[in-house]
Structure 1
Amino acid sequence: MVRKAKVEFDEQAPDGFDPANPYGDPVAMLEMREHLVREKWIQIETAKILRDRLRWCYRIEGVNHIQKCRHLARQYLDATRGVGWGKDSRPPELHGPKKDLDD
C-alpha cells in the first residue's frame, strides 16, 4: 500500500454548475453549495487565527500595541469583512426583491 506524500483538495467550484439555471443539475447544485460552505468556513477560521495572533500581540507589546500590532489589526479587519452566515454577507444580487414597508 502506497501513501500519498501530500493531500490534495479540490479547491475549485464544480464544473457543471450553471448560475443562470442552478436547479438544472441537482448534483452540481449540491456540490456548489458544499463548495460555498467550505470556503466560508475557511474564511471564518482564518479570521479566528488572526484574532488569536492579534490578542497575543496586544499582550506581549503592552502599551506599544497600537504601533506594533497595527498590521495584524488591519489584517483581522480585512478578514472579517463579509464573513458570516447572515443575509448581509451575500452579494446584493442574491438578496432577493426588496419589500416596501408601505404595503
Structure 2
Amino acid sequence: MRCHVHWPPIAAEPIQSSPAPTLARIRTTADANYRTSTAWIALYRVSPIDRRDSSARAHLAAAAMPTPESELFLAKKPKVAPTFDGVDYEDNKALKAAQDAIIREQWVRSMMARLVREEMGKCYRREGVNHLEKCGHLRERYFELLKDAKVKGYLFAQQNYVDEALKR
C-alpha cells in the first residue's frame, strides 16, 4: 500500500483566521438552522509557520471579535436561566420557559461538541501521521465537551434538587 505524501511539501497560501469560537457564535449558528447546522469553527487555524509561534496565536486570539447575535436568535433566546431554581411550578408559562431553556442549553452544548469533533476530523485528515502532535488542542477540547454532549432532558432536574457542588 502506498502512502500519499507530497514531498517536498506543497507551498500553500496561509489560512485566513476566523473569529474565535464563542458560545454566542455557536448558538447563533445553531439557531440559524436548528437541525442541520453545518457551521464551521476554526480553532487555532493559523498558517504552518505561525503554528509554532505562540505570540502569533495570542495575537490572532486577541484580534478575534465575537459574532453579534442576530435578531432571530434574540427573539428565540430564552429569557430565563436554564435552571428550575426559583420557578413557580404552578405557573405553567414559567415552567415551560425553564424546560425550554434547559433543553436549548443542552442542545447548544451538544452542537458545540459536534462542531469541535468535525474540526478534529478535518485536522486528523489534514495532518496525517502527525495528527497526535498537531491536533492535540482539538482532542483536549473535545474531551472537555464530551461530558455535556448528550441531551438528557429536564425531568431529573425538575423532580430532584441538585446541589451546585454535586454538579461538578
- TM interval, short-chain normalised: 0.5 to 0.7
Q: 1:39 is aligned with what amino acid?
A: E
Q: Name structure 1 gaps, 5 residues minimum.
A: 1-5, 95-103
Tell me how many residue pairs correspond in the alignment: 85
Q: What's the TM-score once normalised by structure 2's chain length?
A: 0.43
Q: CA 1:32–1:18 in 2, change beyond 3 Å: closer, same or farther?
A: closer
The equivalent residue for 2:117 is: 51
Query: What is the rounded CA distance, in whole Å, between the counterparts of 2:102 and 2:87 in structure 1?
Result: 17
Segments of 4+ moved more than 4 angstroms:
90-94
Residue of structure 1 equivalent to 2:90: 24
Deviation at 1:85, TM superposition (A): 3.3
Give RMSD over aligned pairs.
Answer: 2.8
Specify whether residues 12 and 67 from structure 1 end up closer, same or farther in structure 2 by C-alpha distance, changes over 3 A only: farther
Identity %: 25
Using the TM superposition, name which of 50-59 and 73-82 deviates more: 73-82
2:136 aligned partner: 70
TM-score, length-normalised on structure 1?
Answer: 0.67
Amino acid at match of 1:37: I
**Contact 1:13 1:35 (C-alpha < 8 Å) held by counterparts:** yes
Q: Structure 1 residues 18, 44: closer, same or farther in 2, change over 3 A?
A: closer
Verify the 8 A CA contact 1:18 1:24 in the aligned structure 2.
no
Q: Which runs of 5+ in 2 are unaligned?
A: 1-69, 163-168
* Greater length-normalized contact order (CA 8 Å, ≥ 6 residues apart): 2
